[in-house]
């Protein structure tokens, strides 16, 4: 009799857990509409790696990667689809050190890795820590680091060739408009809001890229309410 009671309790608990998993899955799908792996434009490739997007920017023979995705296996698989060899990547720019942004770093074994100055990561010989407004030249590609703390200490956006802004988890896009990244999973939400206002002041940006909610070609329209 006691066994039967515990058996039914176990079934109820498992059922509740399944419901919770399903609910969280659909909440994730609704709130994180990732872009699929493929070409966004002639010089920008998007990689879908589990729960985050990675972006690859090419100019002539030069190439940079923004973020490294959630897993090495997933990154390798998606890069192969686009005929991109990770060992040939020379420079990877990380917006912040959450696992879904650095999980695939090890496949870029010969690359220089860039983090924001205050990022909480162990130092390695191939890591470089950049400060606000620092300019990095990768061949003909110009990358400007923009310090945007809030979601995480050390969070950094990257403005490439003055026109393409890669924002990591600073913000999200909803119905074509910029919204702050989720307060519940951000370290300092007030600081995050200030960082959004900071990037809103940028001029001549053509495209805005997020890690979890796609991208837009209408930067000024998307971020207009933040131009204070």
Question: In the prediction, which pLDDT does 29 show?
Answer: 53
d(CA 58, CA 88): 12
Q: Note the pLDDT tens digit of each residue in 19-65.
A: 555 444 445 555 667 999 999 999 999 999 888 999 999 999 999 99
Which of 13-17, 27-31, 111-115 is predicted with the least confidence, judged by mean pLDDT?
27-31
Counted domains in the chain: 1
Within a domain: residue 26? Answer: no
Closest CA to 57 of 127, 143, 157, 154: 143
Q: Tokens for 140, please give them.
A: 């003909």
Enter the pTM of the model: 0.89
Question: In the prediction, which pLDDT does 102 show?
Answer: 97
Within a domain: residue 168? Answer: yes
Within a domain: residue 38? Answer: yes
Asked whether 219 and 206 are in contact (CB, 8 A), the reply is yes
Within a domain: residue 198? Answer: yes
Mean pLDDT of 169-181: 97
CATH classification of the domain holding 201: 3.60.15.10
Within a domain: residue 21? Answer: no
Q: Give the residue carrying structure tokens 């190439």.
A: 63
Residue-averaged pLDDT of the chain: 91
Within a domain: residue 113? Answer: yes
Question: In the prediction, which pLDDT does 50 show?
Answer: 82
Q: Note the pLDDT tens digit of each residue in 72-89.
A: 999 999 999 999 999 999
Q: Note the pLDDT tens digit of each residue in 185-197.
A: 999 999 999 999 9
Question: In the prediction, which pLDDT does 18 show?
Answer: 62
User: Is 27 or 182 the better-scoring residue by pLDDT?
Assistant: 182
Question: In the prediction, which pLDDT does 22 show?
Answer: 46
Within a domain: residue 222? Answer: yes
Dihedral angle, C-alpha 85, 57, 158, 110, nearest 10 °: 20
Within a domain: residue 45? Answer: yes
> What residues make up the domain containing 214?
32-226
Q: Provide the pLDDT confidence category of residue 8 given band limits of 50, 70 and 90.
A: low
């Amino acid at each position: 009799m006691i066994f039967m009671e515990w058996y039914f309790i176990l079934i109820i608990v498992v059922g509740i857990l399944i419901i919770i998993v399903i609910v969280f899955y659909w909440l994730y799908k609704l709130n994180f509409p990732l872009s699929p792996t493929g070409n966004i434009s002639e010089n920008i490739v998007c990689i879908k790696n589990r729960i985050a997007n990675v972006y690859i920017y090419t100019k002539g023979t030069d190439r940079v990667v923004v973020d490294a995705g959630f897993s090495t296996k997933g990154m390798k698989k998606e890069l192969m689809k686009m005929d991109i060899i990770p060992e040939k990547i020379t420079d990877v720019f990380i917006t912040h050190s959450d696992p879904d942004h650095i999980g695939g770093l090890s496949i870029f074994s010969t690359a220089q890795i860039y983090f924001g100055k205050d990022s909480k990561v162990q130092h390695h010989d191939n890591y470089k820590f950049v400060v606000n407004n620092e300019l990095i030249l990768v061949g003909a590609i110009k990358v400007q680091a923009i310090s945007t703390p809030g979601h995480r200490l050390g969070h950094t956006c990257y403005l490439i060739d003055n026109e393409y802004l890669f924002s990591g988890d600073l913000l999200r896009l909803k119905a074509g408009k910029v919204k702050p990244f989720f307060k519940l999973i951000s370290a300092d939400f007030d600081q995050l809001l200030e960082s959004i206002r900071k990037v809103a002041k940028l001029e001549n940006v053509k495209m805005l890229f997020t890690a979890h909610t796609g991208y837009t070609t209408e930067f000024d329209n998307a971020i207009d309410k933040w131009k204070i």
